Structure 1
Amino acid sequence: MKLLIATDAWHPQVNGVVRSLEQMARAGEAQGVEPIFLTPQDFHSLPLPGYSEIRLSLVTRSGVLQAFDGHAPTHVHIATEGPIGHAARRACLARGRPFTTSYHTRFPEYLAARAPVPQSWSYAWLRRFHGAASGTMVSTPSLERELAGRGFSNLMTWTRGVDTALFRPQASDALAGIPGPIFLFVGRLAVEKNLQAFLGLDLPGTKVVVGDGPDRARLQGLHPEARFLGTRTGEDLAEIYAAADVFVFPSLTDTFGIVLLEALACGLPVAAFPVTGPLDVISGTGAGVIAADLREAALAALAIPRERCRAEALRHTWAESARQFYANIEIAHAVGPMRAAKPAKQAARLVELG
């Protein structure tokens, strides 16, 4: 397989989309797949106003067609709904070739948090975008049910994983000198992450925030008692997870939350709202507390044994995530023009084909 992945999300962004695609590329190479990325680095681009790490590419369908001709991919996956994703979609439709997409971001909710745009309009636009794909990958069963209820079709499950060698329990002094218990958040500091719901809690000890984004200055001004450490990655991040006492995930809009698995892998229990992502990853595992009262959840999570969290994380591997990803691509491309088929019909068609 020679797979072209078109994505508007790429370095220097630090987010779950970029991490997932990087992991798929590594796993693909080990399986004989040749991944080719089409990213903002391949085109002239402009920074998104107020969010400079996100680049808006000045890309055209002809530019994507040139990439198709130059790389001659056998399969195409469109990871995002931005300028590159739209240009790649138009190019695939012009050539009559099948492609898959993935639904990473609750764009309607994110847009509604910033502008008076009805979510129904945004979802109608997204249905049209993904409706042309032979398969649309979603990260959790609850998200699949929700999108199906909104009229999305050809939905396929693609779960996420965690590097349990990097993210692991360890003795760590990364947060030495900070009064405990330490309640930690890791992620992008933007309005859609609902950080105020965490930072406004009346909790003992200290709240620690890792990450950066357009809302950082405002949040730091409102909450000088919290510790803002900026962006951390790799071993530095793993040591912070291992040194904290509870991971608090206040988002109401994430479709998964890879940081949940990173925290668990380091033995860190999770507190979260009962929404998509936490419900799929945490509910029923004993590795966290999910409740409408986030303060109650955070305090209760202090009593969870760290070994239980680690054991749950070991069930989520990038190897299984990659197996699903590439199997979905094979299924969708084999089905080809059956773009309106339901998943069961797609599976039946695959059996016919092979």
Structure 2
Amino acid sequence: MRILLATDAWEPQVNGVVRTLTRVIAECRAMGHEVEVVSPDQFKTFPLPTYPEIKLAVGAYEPVQERFKSCEPEAIHIATEGPIGLAARRICVDWKLPFTTSYHTKFPEYVSARLPLPLSAGYAYMRWFHGPSGRIMVATPSMQEELAKHGFRNLSPWTRGVDTDLFHPRLPDEPDVYAGLARPIWLNVGRVAVEKNIEAFLATDLPGTKVVVGDGPQREELILKYPEAVFPGARFGEELAHYFSGADVFVFPSLTDTFGLVILEAMATGAPVAAFPAPGPIDLIPGSNAGALASSLDEGLREACLKCLDLDRKVVRAFAERFSWRACAEEFVRNLQPYPEPEKTRFWRRLRRLARLRRRSAQA
């Protein structure tokens, strides 16, 4: 079927949302679906205040409207709550088109971490945005429960996958990216920003060396505050995989992620994961023998890290192999709820007729 996907998160952004969408789109196309993507690179943009890496589209409504008309989608998915997502939502509501959304980011928590706005305001906006959605796709059971408590409805599971070919246990001939550093190596990968709670990791008393791979607005501040830690910057592809596979333990201190793709990427290389009991880790780690959770959301990270040193890396890898991007894409397609063929045909025929009448009126 023809799928229109509207997203404010797209390349060259480097984050879990972009990785999820690009992989799912590739899998959908491989399954024979036609996917039309509406993304910021197709518009004039301006940098998001306090987060210049994220570009927001300007004047999106009319161009998005034209994309709807030219694509005539059989299913519509709105992935994000920014300008492009808002434009697509408005069109769907005005034209009475069914659509689905996904909850990738704990937006209210992110905003509250950066601006003096209460969580209640952020959740009020998110409930308004996702309210008309036929299904809100959510990555984990704990996030479903949390959103249900905040008054969200029509929640459906949409799990994630991992590239087990790229992220694999370290091979003997691979370079040692940690040469000369004291072991054990404690690794964190992701955006270096306040909402990722990286300072909780850096402040934890651990033997060996802490390494933070990534870039972001808090990086320079943390480099100055924690000179004993190593900050190699952002890494990609095989080089990033080497950082994962060479680490002794991956530490994931975030309390605001909805899943945390880097957890699976670390596990796929055999690196066990230490984390707080927040959405994502609490859904993946218990009973997996692939990591350890802290005792609470603010204590016990050191003990979880040290427990991970005793875990079998082969067992860790085997757990990650249960997750595939094809299964993720299949679940996405099942959630789309394409509208019935007669209604779909009738709507787009009526829309084309109206467009012809407008053109004739303009010519007259």
Q: 2 CA distance for matches of 1:40 and 1:234? A: 23
What pairs up with 1:44-83 in 2 under 5 angstroms? 44-83=44-83
Matched, 1:191 2:194: yes
Q: 2 CA distance for matches of 1:211 and 1:334? A: 45
TM-score by length of 2: 0.90
2:302 matched residue in structure 1:
295
Matched, 1:98 2:105: no
Q: 2:250 aligns with which of 244, 247, 264?
A: 247
- Deviation, structure 1 residue 186: 0.3
Deviates more, 1:265-274 or 1:66-75: 66-75
**Given that residues 62 and 91 in structure 1 are in contact (C-alpha distance below 8 angstroms), is that contact kept between their aligned partners in structure 2?**
no
Runs of 5+ in structure 2 lacking a partner?
344-364
**Given that residues 74 and 339 in structure 2 are in contact (C-alpha distance below 8 angstroms), is that contact kept between their aligned partners in structure 1?**
no
**Given that residues 7 and 37 in structure 1 are in contact (C-alpha distance below 8 angstroms), is that contact kept between their aligned partners in structure 2?**
yes
- SS of residue in 1 equivalent to 2:114: coil
How many residue pairs get matched?
A: 336
Deviates more, 1:155-164 or 1:142-151: 142-151
What pairs up with 1:73-222 in 2 under 5 angstroms? 73-171=73-171, 172=174, 173-222=176-225
Over residues 15-57 of structure 1, what are the superposed CA-to-partner deviations in whole Å (9 max), with x where a residue is unaligned? 0100000111111111111111111111111012332210011
- Deviation, structure 1 residue 89: 0.2
AA aligned opposite 2:264: L
AA aligned opposite 2:257: D
Q: 2 CA distance for matches of 1:95 and 1:230? A: 46
Deviates more, 1:50-59 or 1:279-288: 50-59
1:224 matched residue in structure 2:
227
- SS of residue in 2 equivalent to 1:177: coil
- Deviation, structure 1 residue 61: 2.4
Question: Using a 3 Å threshold, how does the CA distance of structure 1 residues 5 and 302 change in structure 2: closer, same or farther?
Answer: same
- SS of residue in 2 equivalent to 1:3: strand
Q: 2 CA distance for matches of 1:90 and 1:238? A: 40
AA aligned opposite 1:314: E
AA aligned opposite 1:249: F
Q: 2:311 aligns with which of 304, 313, 316?
A: 304
Question: Using a 3 Å threshold, how does the CA distance of structure 1 residues 70 and 332 change in structure 2: closer, same or farther?
Answer: closer
2:26 matched residue in structure 1:
26
Q: 2 CA distance for matches of 1:60 and 1:285? A: 44
**Given that residues 160 and 325 in structure 2 are in contact (C-alpha distance below 8 angstroms), is that contact kept between their aligned partners in structure 1?**
yes
Runs of 5+ in structure 1 lacking a partner?
338-354
Q: Which has the larger radius of gyration?
A: 2
Q: 2 CA distance for matches of 1:49 and 1:96? A: 33
Deviates more, 1:117-126 or 1:263-272: 117-126
- Deviation, structure 1 residue 252: 0.6
Q: 1 CA distance for matches of 2:163 and 2:72? A: 32
**Given that residues 168 and 268 in structure 2 are in contact (C-alpha distance below 8 angstroms), is that contact kept between their aligned partners in structure 1?**
yes
**Given that residues 271 and 288 in structure 1 are in contact (C-alpha distance below 8 angstroms), is that contact kept between their aligned partners in structure 2?**
yes
The CA RMSD measured in Å over matched residues stands at 1.5
Over residues 225-274 of structure 1, what are the superposed CA-to-partner deviations in whole Å (9 max), with x where a residue is unaligned? 11101111111111111110000000011000000000000000000001
Matched, 1:35 2:35: yes
AA aligned opposite 1:257: G
1:343 matched residue in structure 2:
none
- Deviation, structure 1 residue 70: 2.1
**Given that residues 134 and 332 in structure 1 are in contact (C-alpha distance below 8 angstroms), is that contact kept between their aligned partners in structure 2?**
no
- SS of residue in 2 equivalent to 1:178: coil
Q: 1:318 aligns with which of 315, 325, 334?
A: 325
Q: 2 CA distance for matches of 1:270 and 1:29? A: 32
AA aligned opposite 2:205: D
Over residues 190-220 of structure 1, what are the superposed CA-to-partner deviations in whole Å (9 max), with x where a residue is unaligned? 0000010001111100000101011111111
AA aligned opposite 1:296: E
Identity percentage of aligned residues: 54
- SS of residue in 2 equivalent to 1:229: strand
Q: 2 CA distance for matches of 1:72 and 1:333? A: 12
- Deviation, structure 1 residue 332: 6.1
- SS of residue in 1 equivalent to 2:254: coil
Q: 2 CA distance for matches of 1:187 and 1:91? A: 34
**Given that residues 263 and 270 in structure 1 are in contact (C-alpha distance below 8 angstroms), is that contact kept between their aligned partners in structure 2?**
yes
AA aligned opposite 2:204: L
AA aligned opposite 1:321: C
**Given that residues 100 and 332 in structure 1 are in contact (C-alpha distance below 8 angstroms), is that contact kept between their aligned partners in structure 2?**
no
Q: 1 CA distance for matches of 2:170 and 2:55? A: 37
Q: 1:278 aligns with which of 260, 277, 281?
A: 281
Over residues 162-215 of structure 1, what are the superposed CA-to-partner deviations in whole Å (9 max), with x where a residue is unaligned? 000110002341221111100000000000000100011111000001010111
Matched, 1:259 2:277: no
Over residues 270-319 of structure 1, what are the superposed CA-to-partner deviations in whole Å (9 max), with x where a residue is unaligned? 00001110011111111101013111111111111101110100111111
Q: 2 CA distance for matches of 1:283 and 1:294? A: 15
AA aligned opposite 2:55: R
1:233 matched residue in structure 2:
236
